[in-house]
A and B are shown apart, each in its own frame.
Chain A
């Protein structure tokens, strides 16, 4: 080991995430003076199959404080890592995993593991994507941007955060730059369109929540989006992605989906029929979590009947057993990969590898504190498709990576999306 890469300090503190949740932040320092950090915070909707976070409970921070998880890092995990080589991620993760993940909290382990990854990249003086994926990391994803969000427009769950989200995805282009420039044009036209049509003003590149009473149903929204894509001149080159987050709209007692897509409550069969219908009638390329998080059969049913990408997030929760099950059953054809859902970088990388080996797409997501580092994960994993990354800051990072990779940068465009429609 290069002595300079020896870890001399690992220290955690309680911070606040970009979504205003208490978060565990870990700072790692090496003998050579390299400092790296990472933060781990919960997502908006937390699936019940994810690795569990440790929270303080009580009154403060509405019970979501993380000072216990912080203590776990400082007193339990840190001593194991002092003296180790910060560039050896797998060894460091193995050390972390000698502790009980349930007791430590996945928020503690994920924050430490990711801080080591970031520090390792700096110590090696290489970009994060290269530290993750080596010289094999050269795939730019299909860029996307959120067009509309809002959970309450049909009286749905007020706690569902920014779901369901509808996005534009720019796929049939030769390079990432071309795809993202086209995406920007569509987004700007979209922004003018909904200002005029719905009186909704967008301030920044991010979907605006659509308030109650603005739409009869989401077919209208899909019509509008399709119209803007076509009018901008990108028919069949830019498509739509939807994250239904169906779990948030599922009423366990009545077994009905409520407040999603339109006012009418829907049975599971209605939902399946609806998904198949929109996949056929609209330029949709990907649907995420179309059913609640235990309906593997339903996912398989939809996947069988459509030729687009069906992604499991809450369904799979980056959990190896569940991913294996989904692959066997054909429940979906792509998974979200979230480090904090599983606990360490090495475990997330392993499950991503397993998915790819089974022709299951992977779609990294950065809402748990990865911030803009998510772009490096996408390239590092060679994920052909990701969530809404491509304009704004994520666009800047991906354009920079494209530039750094130069002629080696690959953009697979529609081949990066799973589903028969997009394959040769």
Chain B
């Protein structure tokens, strides 16, 4: 194949979408194709994620990534220059074994992830095909269930200090014939929600930015509402008002680990100010899924309660996603699958290290009947849309309006009559099977 040889690899420190230091890697091939990718840490970082290389010290509050940048420029670059950018697995394997099998630890998971994903993008461009096609070949035809965020805020009941902005609530438009119809329905409902939030509470969502994919959330400050049920009521009401009952549902990311007190073994400050034991939490969640149109729940229990996640799959019948539970980690997915804990794995492409490892983890999940839900919080940005289609994901985290919404519309148009909307089939859980 002509021109696909890697001729240049370099990295620099940049700002992430959230404004923190991030590593950005660029890979260039002989025919001028270029892939640029950034890798950054998330808001809530699970204890089982790969280690990033940080500089420490006082500059950038210790989170500078110049060490990782230098590892790319001085160690990884000279090794992969001259390799074929389209042979992802071979390039990844070389990086992962650079100077021994613990390369990721020594070079930094952030350095490895950024280069690996940059190789993938350069490879696609060198071949002159869309990224989703490079990932999934001609089999990549599925647009995920359209979803968009509506609520965030971690301190509404004085808890969850480390929970980032969780719990978050989102709308999911699933029972529609096509992505464009689903995303339009989502737009109608979201626009209504937006007016409601500003009129009722004087709240505005985080100002959107062209590359930040997680827009739409209204952060609820402490003391504004008595409990989350008033919000659930209104979300449900709007869905029904537009006639989307049974076609559109609610997704929640609880980040329950951040609300779990290890000493008292209770959940505190989730949904309301009530304290709940593990069994009460399970019972409560099951009740919520009966009373409200929840279709997806993420991290409903703390990150080591595999058994509890299995109980919830069985009792709720909906999609139960593990993020902190699995941390895109193959062994944890295998362990979870053996017990039926959850039925979907949250995918942060850059969380595991290389692209090849991510794809292996995805395959493992699929083979065990699990779904994959991609999420763009680690610097994947707009590419998350291509990853989603590339792996035929049935659902995606909150990125179906705004700029990523447009990317999905573009892909839908490119695929033409071959485009397939995941819809209800894209959701995991026995409730969605006829």
CA A19 to CA B215, docked complex, whole Å: 9
User: Is A109 located at the chain interface by the 8 A CB criterion?
Assistant: no
Contacts of B190 in A (CB 8 A): 20
- Chain B residues touching A, range: 35 or more
User: Is B165 located at the chain interface by the 8 A CB criterion?
Assistant: yes
Contacts of A25 in B (CB 8 A): 406
User: Is B402 located at the chain interface by the 8 A CB criterion?
Assistant: yes
Contacts of B216 in A (CB 8 A): 20
* CB <8 Å contact, B222 and A209: no
Q: Which of B179-214 contact A (CB under 8 A)?
A: 183-184, 187, 190-191, 198-199, 201-204, 206-212
User: Is A211 located at the chain interface by the 8 A CB criterion?
Assistant: yes
Give the contact stretch, choosing among B17-25, B229-237, B335-343: B17-25
Contacts of A164 in B (CB 8 A): none
Q: State whether A203 and B165 are in contact (beta carbons under 8 Å apart), knowing that A16-B183, A18-B215, A393-B210 are contacts in the complex.
A: yes
* CB <8 Å contact, B219 and A203: yes
Q: Which of A147-202 contact B (CB under 8 A)?
A: 149-153, 158, 162, 184, 187-188, 199-201
Contacts of B164 in A (CB 8 A): 203
* CB <8 Å contact, A203 and B401: no
Q: State whether A188 and B61 are in contact (beta carbons under 8 Å apart), knowing that A206-B207, A207-B207 are contacts in the complex.
A: yes
Across the interface, A162 reaches (CB within 8 A) one of B15, B61, B154, B204, namely B204
User: Is B413 located at the chain interface by the 8 A CB criterion?
Assistant: yes
* CB <8 Å contact, A15 and B19: no
CA A200 to CA B405, docked complex, whole Å: 29
Contacts of B203 in A (CB 8 A): 209, 211
User: Is A77 located at the chain interface by the 8 A CB criterion?
Assistant: no
Across the interface, A149 reaches (CB within 8 A) one of B12, B60, B204, B405, namely B204
Closest A residue to B128 using CB positions: A33
CA A244 to CA B17, docked complex, whole Å: 26
CA A15 to CA B412, docked complex, whole Å: 12
Across the interface, A396 reaches (CB within 8 A) one of B15, B202, B207, namely B15
Closest A residue to B413 using CB positions: A13
Q: List 24 A-B contacts (CB under 8 A).
A: A16-B183, A16-B405, A16-B406, A18-B210, A20-B216, A20-B401, A20-B402, A60-B184, A61-B187, A62-B191, A146-B207, A149-B204, A152-B202, A158-B199, A187-B19, A203-B152, A203-B206, A204-B17, A204-B19, A205-B18, A208-B219, A372-B211, A391-B15, A396-B14
User: Taking beta carbons and an 8 Å cutoff, which residues of A are in contact with B?
Assistant: 13, 15-20, 23, 25, 39, 60-62, 146, 149-153, 158, 162, 184, 187-188, 199-201, 203-209, 211-212, 366, 371-372, 391-393, 395-396, 399, 403
Given A16-B409, A204-B212, A208-B219, 19 more contacts at CB 8 Å?
A13-B409, A16-B183, A18-B208, A18-B209, A20-B402, A62-B191, A158-B202, A201-B153, A201-B154, A205-B18, A206-B206, A207-B207, A209-B204, A371-B211, A372-B210, A391-B19, A392-B16, A392-B17, A393-B210
